[in-house]
Amino acid sequence: MKRFISACLLATTLTAPMQAQAGSSANGVAILPADQVASFANRVQQDLAARGARVAIVARVGRDPAQLPDDVTYTHVGIWVYSRITLADGSTGQGYRVYNLYQQADNPVRSDLVQDSPADFFAGAHVFDAGIIIPDPRLQTKLLDVIGSPTYSALHNPVYSALSNPNTNRFQNCTEHTLNVLMAALYDTDDLNQIKANTAAYFVPQPIAVNGLQRAFATVASQALTTADHGPNVATATFGSIARFMENNDLAAEVYRITPTSVVRF
């Protein structure tokens, strides 16, 4: 499988200012035509529904790909849950709700848990490209149990860092929260200390190359890019590292990528 990274704002360079549409920020400024965004969002959810996915981990591209560091493709992940939804005309139907961790617009070092729609999820995307993990059916059931319980919110740490260390709870980004939920489901626990112990034992985070100068000025450039919870090396949870963990442990039914013209397995 190719390495595709999503670190919820890692898509910015370490000295770049934050923008509303980047990473794990909410939709912000629209980059692509709204009708095309809606069409692509519908393509993704129709594909998931056709595969019978009750739960999926989906990633988007929230920055101009030309500006991304090497090996970085995706900048935000959310958990998509097949649900009864209320449509714009007030009628109800079946579709996906997206469970996100988003930075606060006016305080990027804090985050909130937010539910939105597939179109909201892709609003502000720079390209139509979705990375998708469909967990195996048993794990989907366990994930639904966690998402529908107080554990989902209890696993949220609102102190945000794009480069958070998944082995600690000092900071958190969207991918780490997703990983927490995954570990809670796998091990039937809401004990955060146990979740972090299991993460350290079994999950391999994605190493991030941060040279000394960039690291020294990361906190100056943005508190949301701090590496204070890391040792000499920086590694964080990413879409790619979660996909590898799930595939290596036979937890994923499918891992693939959707663009407007293709559906490709990683």
Number of residues in the chain: 266
User: Encoding tokens for residue 148?
Assistant: 């529908």
pLDDT of residue 68: 60
* Residue 60 DSSP SS3: strand
- How many angstroms separate the CA atoms of 224 and 218, rounded? 9
Residue 68 CA to residue 55 CA, distance in Å, equals 28
pTM: 0.89
**How far are the Cα atoms of 10, 144, 227 from residue 17, in angstroms, in the given order?**
12, 36, 17
Read off the tokens for 159. 């102190």
State both tokens at 248.
């290596």
DSSP state letter for 12 = S
Cβ neighbours for 186, distance < 8 A, ≥ 6 positions apart: 139, 142, 198, 251
Element (H, E) at 110: strand 107-116
> What's the number of domains the chain is made of?
1
Strand duo 72-74 + 5-6: pairing: parallel
Q: Is the separation of the CB atoms in 75 and 55 below 8 Å?
A: no
What pLDDT does residue 210 have? 73
Give pLDDT tens digits along the chain (266 positions): 444 445 564 433 333 333 333 457 665 567 899 999 999 999 999 999 999 999 999 999 987 877 665 566 788 999 999 998 887 788 888 999 999 999 998 999 999 999 999 999 999 899 999 999 999 999 999 999 999 999 999 999 999 998 899 999 999 999 999 999 999 999 999 999 999 999 999 999 988 877 654 666 566 567 788 889 999 999 999 999 999 999 999 999 999 999 999 999 98
Tokens 């629209």, residue? Answer: 30
Domain range for 105 is: 5-265
